[in-house]
């Protein structure tokens, strides 16, 4: 279980996350939704350790990792696919996967893991020797997901994986994510700007605005009439017509 | 004709060493975006230590070994004192000045310990009189040995970077630090490692260059720093083979111009080459254009 | 400490000191006066580094090269061609300035440390050439017989100049130079020099060309060092290349850094210290390399602002203190009223963006966008992350060159123009995070916005001519009016980095208005602002609109935009999917789909 208690994160001069507490349980996908600038990415960066937290706590299965450096958290089983499709553009697909595998002291064989990746995404096998920067957006996202899940981490953070992708690719990706989460004692935290997407696969969601949680609930609650809250979080309140 | 061949061979020889120095500079540049302005003096320190130890009767291999350890330690200190604290300050002024300071400091210590005059460098590889005949010219075996060793080292480094796990680590950190740390790579350790290797490369380069020139003096470090930088820039800052190409071009041009005109003319040529490349094609022959992101 | 610092740098104190020294020279012995002369020359050298490195941020590791060029030039033209002393020295400075300008050729295309390396090479080459070109410089043996004050062979128009008179001349030159430097630094040129150092992109958005600025800085700096060289040559009467080696370059750098980069007064402290230290401490002389090396290694961690930092003397970047009393009393409008002269009726757009496409190595950020912007109208641009909003602003403001399409503004196609040229034409923008100059006060930051409107030349700035003073006072008053409108008067003289985010954002927008733009782009200005701050921001935007400025705001705060925008455009995946009013937008299915997705959500 992933637990965040009263987390505060500053990004430059802005207080991006202002006291957020949430819980993400294994076996189901937890969604983080909110407009751009709401603090979703900063929250994830604090959980994976890329950005240090200014205050609050992060607990993995009860263990406080708030002060742990990011590479150690990675070795503990935290995987974070950052926003903006970050991969090693100058490395080939296979080199990217090698880099993702070797430093986290994984169990099992790389060969088996690689076969599994190619089984999920055959196009990656076809383009295994191509430089990652030359892949299409969708292919890059497949690579990122593979890199994040290659070594079967127990805590996966996905920051806007659907950004800029065609619907059919998005479906493919979400199938993969659902499948991954179902396979065991795994926590998946998924952030999307487009709420409906996240709620397709998530069972529980948190709505962020200005660095704070303004609404939370199960999928049913979020997609019902109470969704007016959701909409106003993005589009502002409608003017009352006199 | 034999003069021409001599110049070409010596040019290739020193050019290969420039490439190796450039590689050392590149290595720390990739992992920290910092260029060590004191690298030349580290070279000099390695050569000085070797020369003095061998001169006092220490076994050659031991002397070389100790010198390489010393240069690695010096680079480790440079990272700790001149680079890491300075990277917290905005802009490049802090680390340029600080690394230059270490270079000046090393020069000062060397002058204080060993005097300001040039010191004769002992024959570590072959003897300076050993020559081989080629097309009517007598070519020093030392030049050939230095060339071969340098090219070998550059190629080995390239292989290491491409295929070893630590090589993957260095390239990942060079590419995207945050992403590398998320992959479980201990970024700080990789950075320190790159500095240590850079130190060893500097030590080896210092020894090789002193071998072919015959002497070491506390001032030659600066010269070499600039030449290595020109080689790296001409070849392209991102590329090990670029360094080699740049180094050879520079070395041969330098020796030819220096031999047929004067050493000062050779300097000017190197300088003009540098300004020319930076103005016309800043990314060098094999490098990539850097784009500014807003 | 601060009082001591203020006392030491007060103009009256320094003036008194100068007079005392000038008179005292007659009573001191020749050796002492020689030392004073060395100090003056070193102050000039330190100032040259301060301008280039402290203010403009370019590191020079070979400044002795300029010093040498000046020294040898002056010596040669006077000795061999009989050119009169003042002209010889002026030529020395001029030639060094030209060399500096050429050396800075690659500036703006490569990162700073490349130029630092080049400067190192430059210093070395000049040294080598001085040694090699025996016919010109006397080579290693040196050049002797240069008319000098020391031996009494220097003359101007028949009058022999002795050591004491030479010192007085040097002192006068130093005072004039420092006054001019101070006026220059406090002018919009000085602000531009510093802005390029600290915030290159922001500077570009205000019309400052960083390449041109860097070259100018190198030229002036080189010229000043060359001038010092000329005076040096005629003081000691002979030159050897050894005076111009690496050590000299390092010395100059150390003087300036220890004195305090960015502080004009600090340079004097540094120069005095390092002129006397080698004299007083023989040990220092022996271990010079080691001492300088240690200083350079640790100075930025131990004493980043040098001695000037200890005394808290900091050169400010506006003539506010000088011009305080010149209030004319009349109210000043912060902006001018923009009237269209685009030809035709009031409905002719100010800018016509046509079919702009923007691709980044395969990624299509803008798929063919067209829109018009009109004077006195506020348009909102919204859309999900990655929809191309900021890219459009970056294209119009000149940071990117579009792959295709045109931008018609005032009769010209400005697509592909560099950022500073676009800003000069009257198009100003702000950034997603406020790019202010952290060490400037609020007033100085906003004043910098007016950069493109200044007309007076660098010489006028340095000499503080009446025209220059008038312009500066004029703009200072406009800045006051803007600060009043933005609610920033209380923070006018506070350093920007000490202020909270909201104030920084308001100051950045005020700065944009100070440029008196015709077209204004605001990139997510309301992010992170409190209710009160948002209100002030909205007031500023309305102020611009009322003066006829065409404004486009990118933001996500729909409530904020609803109060201001007459029209909203929605982008998605690089294309426009809606144009109209805010209410229509909220009900528009394509928009809802873009932000929230449509299937599962029933919307009231």
Q: With CB atoms and an 8 Å threshold, state whether B294 touches C300.
A: no
Q: Give domain status of residue A98, yes or no.
A: no
Least trusted range by pLDDT, from B76-90, C294-308, C313-327, C497-511: C313-327
User: What DSSP state is assigned to residue C61?
Assistant: S
Q: What is the chain A residue with the closest CA to B166?
A: A103
Residue C597: its pLDDT value, please? 55
CA C462 to chain CA centroid, nearest Å: 15
- Best B176, B181, B182 member to test A by mutation, with max A CBs in 10 Å, is B182
Instruction: Name which residue leads in pLDDT, A208 or C433.
Output: A208
State how far residue C582 is from chain B, nearest Cα, in angstroms. 29
Determine contact, residues C384/C558, Cβ cutoff 8 Å. Answer: no
Chains that touch A (3 or more CB pairs under 8 A): B, C
The helix (H) or strand (E) run that includes residue A64 is strand A63-64
Query: Does C581 contact A at CB distance below 8 Å?
Result: no
Determine contact, residues A189/A157, Cβ cutoff 8 Å. Answer: yes
- Give residue for tokens 């000149």: C398
Percent of chain A residues past pLDDT 70, beyond the cut: 92
- Rounded average pLDDT over C28-38: 88
- Best C435, C560, C595, C602 member to test A by mutation, with max A CBs in 10 Å, is C595
**pLDDT tier, C326 (very low <50, low <70, confident <90, very high otherwise):** low
**pLDDT tens column, B259-269:** 888 877 887 88
Q: With CB atoms and an 8 Å threshold, state whether A82 touches B165.
A: no
**pLDDT tens column, A1-26:** 999 999 999 876 678 899 999 999 99
Residues of B whose CB is below 8 A from A70: 178, 181-182
Alpha-helix residue ranges (DSSP H) falling in C311-381:
320-323
State how far residue B51 is from chain C, nearest Cα, in angstroms. 22
- Rounded average pLDDT over C245-250: 92
How much is the ipTM here?
0.90
d(CA C89, CA C166): 13
Q: Kindly tell me the burial class for residue B59, based on how many C-beta atoms sit within 10 Å of its own C-beta (0-12, 13-18, 19 or more).
A: exposed
**pLDDT tens column, C549-596:** 999 999 888 888 988 999 999 988 888 989 998 888 888 888 877 765
Q: What is the chain A residue with the closest CA to C505?
A: A13
Q: With CB atoms and an 8 Å threshold, state whether A164 touches C603.
A: no
Q: Give domain status of residue A240, yes or no.
A: no
Query: Does C501 contact A at CB distance below 8 Å?
Result: yes
Query: Does C558 contact A at CB distance below 8 Å?
Result: yes
State how far residue A215 is from chain B, nearest Cα, in angstroms. 30
Instruction: Name which residue leads in pLDDT, B222 or A193.
Output: B222
The helix (H) or strand (E) run that includes residue C155 is strand C155-156
- Rounded average pLDDT over A193-212: 86
Percent of chain B residues past pLDDT 90, beyond the cut: 46
Which residue among A164, A193, A196 places its CB closest to the CB of C600? A196
Q: What is the chain B residue with the closest CA to C296?
A: B101
Residue B294: its pLDDT value, please? 37
Residue C357: its pLDDT value, please? 92
Contacts of A127 (CB under 8 A, 6+ apart): A93, A135, A139
Q: Kindly tell me the burial class for residue A235, based on how many C-beta atoms sit within 10 Å of its own C-beta (0-12, 13-18, 19 or more).
A: buried
pLDDT higher than threshold 60 for residue C343: no
**pLDDT tier, C362 (very low <50, low <70, confident <90, very high otherwise):** low
Three-state SS sequence of A197-239: HHHHHCCEEEEEECCEEEEEEEHHHHHCCCHHHHHHHHHCCCC
Residues of B whose CB is below 8 A from A71: 181-187
Q: With CB atoms and an 8 Å threshold, state whether B182 touches A74.
A: yes
Which of 3.30.70, 2.60.40, 1.10.3470, 1.10.600 would CATH assign to domain C36-317? 1.10.3470
Residue B43: its pLDDT value, please? 94
Chains that touch C (3 or more CB pairs under 8 A): A, B
Q: What is the chain A residue with the closest CA to C604?
A: A228
Bridge partner list, C366: C358
CATH code of the domain containing A9: 3.40.50.300
**pLDDT tier, C322 (very low <50, low <70, confident <90, very high otherwise):** confident
Q: Kindly tell me the burial class for residue B213, based on how many C-beta atoms sit within 10 Å of its own C-beta (0-12, 13-18, 19 or more).
A: middle
Query: Does C528 contact A at CB distance below 8 Å?
Result: yes
Least trusted range by pLDDT, from B136-140, C325-329, C443-447: C325-329
List chain C domain ranges: 36-317, 344-426+517-604, 438-514
Of C293, C63, C125, C128, residue with least CA distance to B107: C293
Q: Give domain status of residue A133, yes or no.
A: no
Average pLDDT, chain B: 87
Q: Give domain status of residue A134, yes or no.
A: no
State how far residue B282 is from chain C, nearest Cα, in angstroms. 7
pLDDT higher than threshold 50 for residue C260: yes
pLDDT higher than threshold 80 for residue A167: no
Residue C601: its pLDDT value, please? 39
Q: With CB atoms and an 8 Å threshold, state whether C290 touches B35.
A: no
Q: With CB atoms and an 8 Å threshold, state whether B226 touches C121.
A: yes
Residues of A whose CB is below 8 A from C595: 35, 193-194, 234-235
d(CA B91, CA B95): 9
Residue A83: its pLDDT value, please? 86
Query: Does B145 contact C at CB distance below 8 Å?
Result: no
- Rounded average pLDDT over B157-162: 90
Q: How many domains does chain A have?
A: 1
Question: Do the domains at C36-317 and C344-426+517-604 have one common CATH topology?
Answer: no
Which residue among B35, B270, B274 places its CB closest to the CB of C113? B35
Residues of B whose CB is below 8 A from C253: 97
Q: With CB atoms and an 8 Å threshold, state whether A71 touches B179.
A: no
Q: With CB atoms and an 8 Å threshold, state whether C601 touches A164.
A: no
d(CA B185, CA B172): 8
Q: With CB atoms and an 8 Å threshold, state whether B267 touches C294.
A: no
**pLDDT tens column, C478-496:** 999 999 989 999 999 999 9
Q: Within a 10 A sphere around the Cβ of C79, how many other Cβ atoms?
A: 18
Q: With CB atoms and an 8 Å threshold, state whether B182 touches A87.
A: no
Q: Which of residues 415-474 of C touch A (CB under 8 A)?
A: 433-434
Residue C310: its pLDDT value, please? 84
Determine contact, residues C147/C428, Cβ cutoff 8 Å. Answer: no
Largest CA distance in chain C: 99
Measured in Å, how far apart are chain B's first and last C-alpha atoms? 56
Three-state SS sequence of chain A: CEEEEEEEEEECCEEEEEEEEEEECCCCEEEEECCCCCCHHHHHHHHHCCCCCCEEEEEECCEECCCCCHHHHHHCCEEEECCCCCCCCCCEHHHHHHHHHHCCCCCCCHHHHHHHHHHHCHHHHHCCCCEHHHCCHHHHHHHHHHHHHCCCCCEEEEECCCCCCCHHHHHHHHHHHHHHHHCCCCEEEEEECCHHHHHHHCCEEEEEECCEEEEEEEHHHHHCCCHHHHHHHHHCCCCCCC
- Rounded average pLDDT over C372-378: 92
CA A112 to chain CA centroid, nearest Å: 25
- Rounded average pLDDT over B256-284: 82
What is each CA distance from B202 to A132, B115, B238, C24, in whole angstroms? 33, 22, 18, 55
User: What DSSP state is assigned to residue C107?
Assistant: B
* Helix, strand, coil percent values for chain C (each to nearest 5): 60, 10, 30
**pLDDT tens column, A111-131:** 999 999 999 999 999 999 999
**pLDDT tier, A230 (very low <50, low <70, confident <90, very high otherwise):** low
pLDDT higher than threshold 80 for residue C459: yes
**pLDDT tens column, C164-202:** 889 999 999 999 999 999 999 999 999 999 999 988 888
d(CA C470, CA C464): 10
Q: With CB atoms and an 8 Å threshold, state whether A105 touches B184.
A: yes
Residue C603: its pLDDT value, please? 35
**pLDDT tens column, A69-98:** 999 999 999 999 998 889 998 899 999 999
Fold of C344-426+517-604: Rossmann fold (3.40.50)
d(CA B230, CA B236): 10
Range of the domain at A67: 2-82+151-233
Query: Does A13 contact C at CB distance below 8 Å?
Result: yes
Contacts of A171 (CB under 8 A, 6+ apart): none
Residue C549: its pLDDT value, please? 92
- Best B25, B97, B267, B281 member to test C by mutation, with max C CBs in 10 Å, is B97
**pLDDT tier, B234 (very low <50, low <70, confident <90, very high otherwise):** confident
Residues of A at the B interface (Cβ-Cβ below 8 Å)? 48-50, 69-71, 74-75, 79-80, 82, 86-91, 95, 98-100, 102-105, 147
d(CA C158, CA C170): 19
**pLDDT tier, A210 (very low <50, low <70, confident <90, very high otherwise):** confident
State how far residue C399 is from chain B, nearest Cα, in angstroms. 8
Q: Which of residues 229-288 of B touch A (CB under 8 A)?
A: none
Residues of A whose CB is below 8 A from C363: 137
Measured in Å, how far apart are chain A's first and last C-alpha atoms? 50
State how far residue B177 is from chain A, nearest Cα, in angstroms. 10
pLDDT higher than threshold 50 for residue A208: yes
Q: What is the chain B residue with the closest CA to C201?
A: B294
Residue C53: its pLDDT value, please? 93
**pLDDT tier, A241 (very low <50, low <70, confident <90, very high otherwise):** very low
State how far residue B186 is from chain A, nearest Cα, in angstroms. 6
Residues of C whose CB is below 8 A from A242: none
- Which of B102-111, B263-272, C216-225, C298-307 is most confident? C216-225
- Rounded average pLDDT over B215-225: 85
Residues of C whose CB is below 8 A from B111: 289
What is each CA distance from A74 to A71, A109, A117, A138, A145, in whole angstroms? 5, 18, 19, 25, 15
State how far residue B273 is from chain C, nearest Cα, in angstroms. 11
């Amino acid at each position: 279980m992933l637990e965040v208690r009263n987390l505060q994160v500053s990004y430059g001069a802005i207080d991006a996350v202002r006291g957020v507490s949430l819980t993400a349980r294994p076996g189901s996908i937890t969604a983080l939704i909110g407009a751009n600038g709401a603090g979703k990415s900063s929250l994830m960066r604090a959980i994976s350790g890329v950005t240090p937290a200014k205050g609050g706590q992060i607990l993995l299965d009860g263990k406080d990792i708030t002060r742990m450096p990011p590479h150690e958290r990675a070795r503990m089983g935290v995987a974070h696919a950052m926003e903006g499709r970050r991969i090693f553009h100058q490395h080939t697909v296979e080199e990217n996967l090698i880099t993702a595998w070797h430093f986290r002291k994984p169990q099992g064989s790389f060969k088996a893991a690689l076969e599994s990746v190619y089984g999920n995404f055959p196009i990656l096998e076809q383009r295994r020797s191509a430089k990652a920067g030359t892949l299409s957006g969708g292919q890059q996202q497949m690579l990122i997901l593979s890199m994040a899940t290659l070594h079967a981490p127990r805590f996966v953070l996905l920051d806007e994986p659907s950004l800029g992708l065609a619907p059919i690719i998005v479906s493919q990706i979400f199938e993969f994510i659902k499948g991954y989460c179902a396979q065991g004692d795994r926590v998946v935290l998924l952030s999307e700007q487009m709420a409906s997407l996240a709620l397709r696969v998530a069972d529980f969601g948190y709505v962020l605005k200005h660095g704070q949680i303004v609404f939370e609930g199960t999928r049913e609650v979020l997609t019902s009439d109470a969704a007016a809250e959701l909409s106003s979080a993005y589009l502002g309140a409608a003017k009352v017509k006199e | 004709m034999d003069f021409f061949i001599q110049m070409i061979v010596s040019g290739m020889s020193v050019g290969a060493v420039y490439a190796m120095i450039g590689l050392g500079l590149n290595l720390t540049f990739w992992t920290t975006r910092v260029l060590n302005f004191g690298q030349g003096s580290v070279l000099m320190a390695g050569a000085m230590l070797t020369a003095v130890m061998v001169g006092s009767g220490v076994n050659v291999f031991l002397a070389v070994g100790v010198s390489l350890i010393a240069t690695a330690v010096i680079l480790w200190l440079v990272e700790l004192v001149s680079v890491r604290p300075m990277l917290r300050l905005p802009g490049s002024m802090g680390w340029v000045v600080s690394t230059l300071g270490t270079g000046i400091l090393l020069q000062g210590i060397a002058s204080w310990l060993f005097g300001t005059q040039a010191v004769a460098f002992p024959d570590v590889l072959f003897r300076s009189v050993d020559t081989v005949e080629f097309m009517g010219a007598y070519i020093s075996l030392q030049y050939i040995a230095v060339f071969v060793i340098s090219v070998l080292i550059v190629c080995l480094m390239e292989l290491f970077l491409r295929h070893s796990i630590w090589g993957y680590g260095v390239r990942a950190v060079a590419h995207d630090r945050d992403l590398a740390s998320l992959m479980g790579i201990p970024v700080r350790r990789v950075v320190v490692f790159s500095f240590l290797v850079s130190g060893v490369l500097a030590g080896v380069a210092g020894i090789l260059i002193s071998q072919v020139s015959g002497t070491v003096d506390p001032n030659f470090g600066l010269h070499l720093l600039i030449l290595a930088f020109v080689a790296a820039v001409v070849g392209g800052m991102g590329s090990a083979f670029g360094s080699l190409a740049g180094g050879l071009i520079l070395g041969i041009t330098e020796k030819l111009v220096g031999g047929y005109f004067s050493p000062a003319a050779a300097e000017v040529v190197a300088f003009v080459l540098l300004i020319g490349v930076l103005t016309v094609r800043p990314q060098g022959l094999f490098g990539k254009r850097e784009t500014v992101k807003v | 400490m601060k009082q001591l610092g203020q006392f030491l740098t007060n103009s009256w104190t320094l003036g008194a000191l100068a007079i005392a020294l000038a008179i005292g020279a007659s009573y001191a012995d020749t050796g002492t006066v020689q030392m004073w002369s060395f100090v003056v020359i070193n102050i000039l050298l330190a100032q040259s580094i301060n301008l280039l490195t402290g203010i403009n941020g370019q590191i020079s590791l070979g400044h002795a090269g300029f010093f040498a060029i000046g020294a040898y030039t002056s010596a040669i033209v006077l000795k061999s061609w009989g050119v009169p002393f003042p002209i010889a020295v002026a030529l020395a400075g001029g030639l060094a300035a030209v060399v500096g300008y050429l050396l800075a050729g690659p500036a703006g295309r490569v990162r700073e440390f490349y130029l630092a390396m080049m400067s190192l090479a430059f210093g070395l080459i000049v040294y080598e050439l001085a040694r090699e070109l025996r016919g010109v410089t006397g080579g290693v043996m040196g050049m002797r017989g240069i008319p000098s004050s020391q031996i009494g062979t220097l003359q101007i128009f028949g009058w022999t100049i002795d050591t004491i008179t030479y010192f007085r001349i040097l002192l006068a030159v130093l005072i004039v130079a420092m006054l001019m430097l101070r006026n220059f630094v406090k002018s919009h040129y000085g602000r531009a020099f510093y802005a390029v150092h600290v915030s290159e992109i922001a500077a570009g958005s205000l019309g400052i060309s960083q390449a041109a600025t860097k070259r100018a800085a190198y030229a002036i700096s080189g010229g000043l060092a060359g001038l010092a060289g000329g005076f040096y040559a005629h003081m000691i009467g002979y030159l050897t290349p050894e005076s111009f080696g690496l050590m000299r370059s390092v010395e100059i750098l150390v003087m300036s850094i220890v004195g305090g980069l960015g502080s004009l007064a600090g340079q004097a402290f540094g120069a005095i210290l390092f002129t006397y230290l080698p004299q007083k401490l023989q040990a220092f002389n022996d271990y010079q390399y080691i001492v300088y090396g240690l200083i350079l290694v640790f100075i930025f961690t131990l004493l980043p602002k040098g001695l000037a930092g200890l005394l808290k003397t900091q050169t400010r970047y506006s003539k506010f203190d000088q011009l305080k009393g010149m209030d004319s009393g009349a109210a000043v409008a912060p902006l001018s009223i923009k009237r269209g002269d685009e030809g035709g009726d009031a409905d002719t757009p100010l800018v016509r963006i046509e079919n702009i496409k923007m691709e980044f190595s395969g990624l299509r950020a803008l798929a063919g966008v067209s829109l018009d912007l009109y004077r006195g109208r506020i348009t909102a641009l919204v859309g999900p992350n990655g929809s191309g909003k900021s890219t459009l602003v970056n294209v119009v403001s000149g940071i990117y060159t579009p792959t295709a399409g045109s931008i018609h503004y005032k009769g010209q196609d400005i697509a592909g123009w560099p950022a500073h040229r676009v800003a000069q034409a009257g198009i100003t923008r702000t950034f997603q995070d406020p790019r202010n100059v952290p060490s400037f006060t609020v007033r100085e930051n906003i004043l910098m916005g007016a950069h493109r409107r200044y007309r007076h030349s660098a010489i006028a700035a340095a000499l503080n001519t009446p025209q220059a003073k008038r312009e500066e006072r004029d703009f200072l008053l406009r800045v006051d009016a803007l600060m009043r409108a933005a609610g920033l008067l209380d923070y006018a003289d506070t350093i920007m980095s000490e202020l909270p985010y909201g104030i920084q954002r308001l100051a950045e927008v005020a700065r944009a208005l100070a440029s008196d733009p015709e077209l204004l782009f605001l990139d997510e200005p309301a992010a992170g602002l409190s209710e009160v701050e948002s209100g002030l921001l909205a007031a500023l935007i309305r102020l611009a609109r009322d003066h006829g400025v065409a404004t486009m705001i990118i933001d996500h705060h729909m409530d904020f935009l609803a109060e201001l925008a007459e029209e909203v455009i929605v982008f998605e995946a690089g294309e426009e999917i809606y144009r109209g009013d805010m209410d229509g937008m909220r009900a528009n299915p394509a928009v809802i789909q873009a932000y929230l997705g449509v299937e599962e959500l029933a919307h009231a």
